[in-house]
């Protein structure tokens, strides 16, 4: 038995190293009968990711802890039916056409007013209802090389889908490098009419392993001196304000639970705020966005991105639903770190623009890198 396990392990490492394409298997069918596939990406350092065609969704992400034991650090479900249920709160999906909120579901572009679905009263959230990017089935093209394994998803959102203008052609690529503890997500989009575009991944992380009871003991650092204050509907006022002197100051690593109770008394019911990332250094393509650590497992996750903002959401509306393996996802048992443009940017001329025009290309990249946090020795 031990010999067969060793042979299988050697075969697996050899196949990863030789550039074998990601494996795939059925993941169920949607309610309207569309088959959904799930792809497995592996590397030599112990990272395993699973991504499915519905919603170009990151379903699993297995990462080693300080003892070398791998655990899945993402919330999700065991089949596509879970993702179509009311228990799904955008777990791991590609969110858009426009992620986050648009005030009262309205914007004006080239002199025409557009009205979108109100699915987060009184606002529009994460691209809308049945035709938002998280709810459609994408085409998948797996690829591999000596550098690693990936899957490129593609979908064309037709003109008028969710009442957005333009035929929007979108790709989302997940890539796991052969010998690095990381996963990257790259987005691209083109359009034949001017339209707002703001894409992100809505992964829920718990570095102690999904199903663990809380993220309040995680330590978070955000590379952001400023944030965008919002109203009771979490729509930005248009101001860009300093975090200094507020409960939103994560410029130094801070235990998430230390100040959450005061934030919990606000309309956000916890952290659900957009942070303005500090400017990139000259010559940098990517900027540091966040660092998250969990002491029991020793896992540390560093987030880098090309995006100007990051939404920190502390899982305030998780309701005890059952996810993978029947595990219970309790209130604040996972968090999101969504790299993106600012909420409601389409209605704020002083924010970085989200308008994509014909002849232009939207491009964005975010990388999640994992390591083991080394405790500081005390003398």
pLDDT tens, 110-122? 999 999 999 999 9
From CA 333, how far away is CA 321, in angstroms rounded? 11
Q: In the structure encoding, which two tokens stand for residue 284, read together?
A: 């940098």
Q: Report the share of the chain in percent with pLDDT over 70.
A: 94
Q: In the structure encoding, which two tokens stand for residue 132, read together?
A: 């938002």
Residues 114 and 108: beta-carbon distance below 8 Å? yes
Q: Report the share of the chain in percent with pLDDT over 90.
A: 89
Q: Tokens 């707002």 map to which residue?
A: 196
Q: Is the model's pLDDT at 344 over the cut of 90? A: yes
Q: Tokens 């969504």 map to which residue?
A: 338
Q: Tokens 């995680």 map to which residue?
A: 218
pLDDT for res 19: 65
Residues 279 and 223: beta-carbon distance below 8 Å? no
From CA 264, how far away is CA 305, in angstroms rounded? 28
Which residues are tagged catalytic?
202, 338
pLDDT in tens, 133-173: 999 999 999 999 999 999 999 999 999 999 999 999 999 99
Q: Is the model's pLDDT at 17 over the cut of 50? A: no
The alpha carbon of residue 154 and the mean position of all alpha carbons in its chain are separated, in whole angstroms, by: 17
Residues 218 and 293: beta-carbon distance below 8 Å? yes
pLDDT for res 11: 38
From CA 247, how far away is CA 10, in angstroms rounded? 50
CATH value of 2-372 in 3.40.50.9100, 2.70.98.10, 2.60.40.720, 1.10.3720.10: 2.70.98.10
Q: In the structure encoding, which two tokens stand for residue 141, read together?
A: 């093209």
The H-or-E segment that residue 42 falls in is strand 35-42
pLDDT in tens, 27-77: 999 999 999 999 999 999 999 999 999 999 999 999 999 999 999 999 999
pLDDT for res 283: 82
Q: Tokens 């300080």 map to which residue?
A: 66
Strands 254-255 and 272-276: what pairing?
unpaired
- Look at residues 231, 236, 316, 243 and name the one whose alpha carbon lies nearest to residue 277: 243
Question: Taking the domains of the chain in order of start, what are their residue ranges?
Answer: 2-372
pLDDT in tens, 163-210: 999 999 999 999 999 999 999 999 999 999 999 999 999 999 999 999
Predicted TM-score of the model (pTM) = 0.94
Strands 124-125 and 101-102: what pairing?
antiparallel
How many separate helices (H) and strands (E) can be counted in the chain?
3, 29
The alpha carbon of residue 51 and the mean position of all alpha carbons in its chain are separated, in whole angstroms, by: 12
Kindly list the distances between the CA atom of residue 187 and the CA atoms of 192, 248, 255, in Å, as whole numbers in the listed order.
18, 29, 31
Residues 290 and 221: beta-carbon distance below 8 Å? yes
Residues 344 and 102: beta-carbon distance below 8 Å? yes
Residues 48 and 69: beta-carbon distance below 8 Å? no
Residues 257 and 225: beta-carbon distance below 8 Å? no
Residues 218 and 271: beta-carbon distance below 8 Å? no
CA atoms within 13 A of residue 23's CA, in its CB half-sphere: 8
Residues 236 and 344: beta-carbon distance below 8 Å? yes
């Amino acid at each position: 038995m031990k010999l067969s396990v060793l042979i299988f392990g050697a075969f697996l490492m050899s196949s990863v190293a030789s550039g074998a394409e990601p494996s795939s298997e059925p993941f169920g069918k949607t309610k309207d009968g569309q088959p959904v596939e799930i792809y497995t990406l592996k590397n030599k350092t112990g990272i395993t990711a699973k991504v499915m065609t519905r919603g170009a969704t990151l379903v699993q992400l297995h990462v080693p802890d300080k003892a070398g034991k791998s655990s899945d650090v993402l919330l999700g479900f065991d089949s596509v039916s879970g993702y179509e249920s009311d228990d799904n709160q955008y777990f791991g999906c590609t969110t858009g056409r426009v992620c986050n909120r648009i005030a009262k579901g309205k914007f004006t572009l080239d002199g025409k007013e557009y009205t979108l679905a109100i699915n987060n009263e009184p606002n529009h959230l994460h691209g809308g209802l049945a035709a938002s990017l998280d709810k459609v089935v994408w085409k998948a093209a797996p690829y591999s090389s000596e550098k690693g394994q990936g899957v490129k998803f593609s979908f064309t959102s037709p003109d008028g889908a969710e009442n957005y203008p333009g035929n929007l052609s979108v790709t989302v690529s997940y890539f796991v490098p052969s010998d690095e503890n990381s996963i990257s997500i790259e987005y691209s989009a083109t359009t034949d009419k001017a339209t707002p575009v703001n894409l992100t991944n809505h992964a829920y992380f718990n570095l102690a392993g999904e199903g663990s009871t809380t993220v309040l003991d995680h330590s978070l650092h955000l590379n952001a001196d400023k944030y965008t204050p919002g109203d009771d509907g979490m729509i930005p006022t248009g101001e860009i304000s300093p975090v200094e002197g507020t409960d939103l100051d994560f410029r130094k690593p801070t235990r998430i639970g230390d100040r959450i109770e005061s934030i919990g008394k606000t309309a956000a019911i916890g952290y659900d705020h957009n942070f303005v990332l500090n400017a990139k250094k000259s010559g940098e393509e990517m900027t540091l966005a966040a660092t998250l650590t969990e002491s029991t497992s020793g896992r540390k996750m560093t987030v880098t991105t090309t995006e100007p903002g990051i939404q920190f959401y502390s899982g305030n509306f998780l309701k005890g639903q059952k996810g993978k393996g029947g595990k219970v996802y309790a209130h604040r048992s996972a968090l999101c770190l969504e790299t993106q443009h600012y909420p409601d940017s389409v209605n704020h001329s002083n924010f970085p623009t989200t308008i994509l025009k014909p002849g232009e290309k939207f491009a964005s990249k975010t990388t999640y890198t994992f390591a083991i946090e080394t405790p500081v020795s005390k003398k």
